[in-house]
Amino acid sequence: MPDTARPEEVVIRLRPHARALLLPAVLLVAAAGLVPFLLPRLTEPWQQWLLVGGAGLLLVVGGLLPLLSWLGRSYTVTTRRVVLRGGVLVRTRQEVLHSRGNRITLRAAGPQLLFGSADVLIDAGAPLPVVLRDVPRAALVQSALVELAEAGRSPLGGGRYRTDEIL
């Protein structure tokens, strides 16, 4: 008997909101401006090396690591599931089937309110909900998840789907 089920399709691919890159960008601009300005004013070679080394360390810790962390985190919503990938040195992958989700909640605080992003919490019956952190256009993502969850609900009972929008 041939399989008549529809193939899984990617609906949304997301990363956390790009505002996480604001501080690394400011550090890069500040270092690019301050190091050439301060370097000729320092008379001792050890002071110049200390300035260059400190600026390099600051750029790696405050600029490169947050960028790699942001690039390493992604969320993919398909017609059957939500896939969360993250990590720089240790990669993690987490999946939630739409048929398992019972409640989809938005939680926004602080700067998220200004930028229209939020954390999307998917309660899949586990002790802790699955969290898509700092998702841009979170209300649109929530409505897409609700539609996909309703479409993926089993006719044999399944769970009830509720949305709680907290914005």
Domain ranges, residue 122: 87-166
Task: Flag whether 153 is in a domain.
Answer: yes
Mind listing the pLDDT tens digit for each residue in 8-66?
889 999 999 999 999 999 999 999 999 999 999 999 999 999 999 999 999 999 999 99
CA angle 56, 59, 60 (to 5 degrees): 85
Task: Flag whether 155 is in a domain.
Answer: yes
Task: Flag whether 97 is in a domain.
Answer: yes
In the predicted model, what is the mean pLDDT of residues 115-140? 89
Contact between residue 134 and residue 107 where contact means Cβ atoms under 8 Å apart: no
| pTM of the complete model beyond 0.75 | yes
Task: Flag whether 36 is in a domain.
Answer: no
User: Binning pLDDT at 50, 70 and 90, where does residue 1 land?
Assistant: very low
Confidence check: pLDDT of 166 > 60: no
Distance CA 93, CA 26 (A): 31
Q: Token pair for residue 129?
A: 């909900």
Task: Flag whether 2 is in a domain.
Answer: no
- φ, ψ of residue 83 in degrees (nearest 5): -115, 125
End-to-end, the C-alpha distance of the chain in Å comes to: 48
In the predicted model, what is the mean pLDDT of residues 118-143? 90
Query: Residue 116: CB partners within 8 Å, gap ≥ 6?
Result: 136, 137, 138, 139
User: Binning pLDDT at 50, 70 and 90, where does residue 101 land?
Assistant: low
Confidence check: pLDDT of 167 > 90: no
Task: Flag whether 140 is in a domain.
Answer: yes
Domain count across the chain? 1
Task: Flag whether 121 is in a domain.
Answer: yes
Distance CA 90, CA 103 (A): 29
Query: Residue 129: CB partners within 8 Å, gap ≥ 6?
Result: 103, 105, 121, 122, 123
